[in-house]
Amino acid sequence: MTISPPTPLAESVARFDQAAAYLLDALADVAARDLDRPTPCAEWDVRAIVLHVTDVADALVDMVGTGTFDLGSTSRADGEVVAAAQDRVHRLVATLDAALDRDRLDAEADADRTAWAIAAAQGGAIDLTAHGWDLATACGSARPIPVGLAAELVELTASLIDEGSRDPLFAAPVPVGPSASAGDRFVAFLGRDPD
C-alpha cells in the first residue's frame, strides 16, 4: 500500500488547526476584567484583539467560499466578546475541515476553491497564533506558542510577508538574538517584542 503525501491544503489546515487550538486556549484565559488590559499589539487592548479575531474568523469563513477577504467590524457587549470569538473560531475550523473533506473526496476539486481554502488557512494560522500570543501575554498566562507550530509559521511568514506587504498590517520586525526560540522569532518578525 502506498501512502500519498499530504496535499498543500491538508498541510495548511493541519497548521491552522494547531493555531486555532492555541488561540482558543488563550481565549479561555480571558476574563471580563482583562478586556481593558494593554497588549503587545500596539494601540490594541484585549477587547480590540478579541473583536478583531471575531472579525477575522468571519472574513476567513467567507473567503473559503468566495475567495474574497472583507474584514468587517463586530461590536458586542463585554460579556459576549470572548464567547463570540470562540464561536467564530470554531465555525472557521469546521469550514476549513469541510473544505479539506471536500477536496479529499473530489479528485477534480475546484482549484480556485482549494486555493481560497489554503489562503484562508495560512492567513488564519498566522493571525490566530499572533493574537493568541498577544492575549496570553496580556493576561499573564505566558502560554508559549507550540514549538512545531512556531517553526512552521516562521517559515510561512517569511515566504508571505515582505517589506512591501508589511505596512499597515505589521510593525517593523524586532531584532532577536540567534538563540531566540521559534516562537520569539515569529512574534518578533511580526513587530512584537518577545521580551
Contact residues for 126 (Cβ-Cβ < 8 A; gap 6+): 19, 153, 156, 157, 160, 190
| pLDDT tens-digit series, residues 136-156 | 999 998 789 999 999 999 999
pTM beyond 0.85: yes
Q: Residues 80-98: pLDDT tens digits?
A: 899 999 999 999 999 999 9
Q: Rounded CA gap, 156 and 43, in Å?
A: 26
| Domain 8-149: top CATH class | mainly alpha
Residue 1 has pLDDT above 70, yes or no: no
HSE at residue 180, side-chain half, CA atoms within 13 A, is 20
Q: How does the average pLDDT of the chain come out, rounded?
A: 90
User: How many residues are listed for the chain in this entry?
Assistant: 195
Rounded distance, CA 134 to CA 146, Å?
Answer: 14
Terminal alpha carbon distance of the chain: 49
Place of cell 515582505: 162
Q: What is the pLDDT of residue 132?
A: 98
* Per-residue pLDDT band at 37 (split at 50, 70, 90): very high
Please give the radius of gyration of the chain, using alpha carbons only, rounded to the nearest integer. 17
Give yes or no for residue 3 having a pLDDT over 60: no
pLDDT reading at 40 higher than 70: yes
Predicted confidence at residue 20, as pLDDT, reads 98
Sign of CA dihedral 150, 174, 127, 38: positive
SS3 80: helix
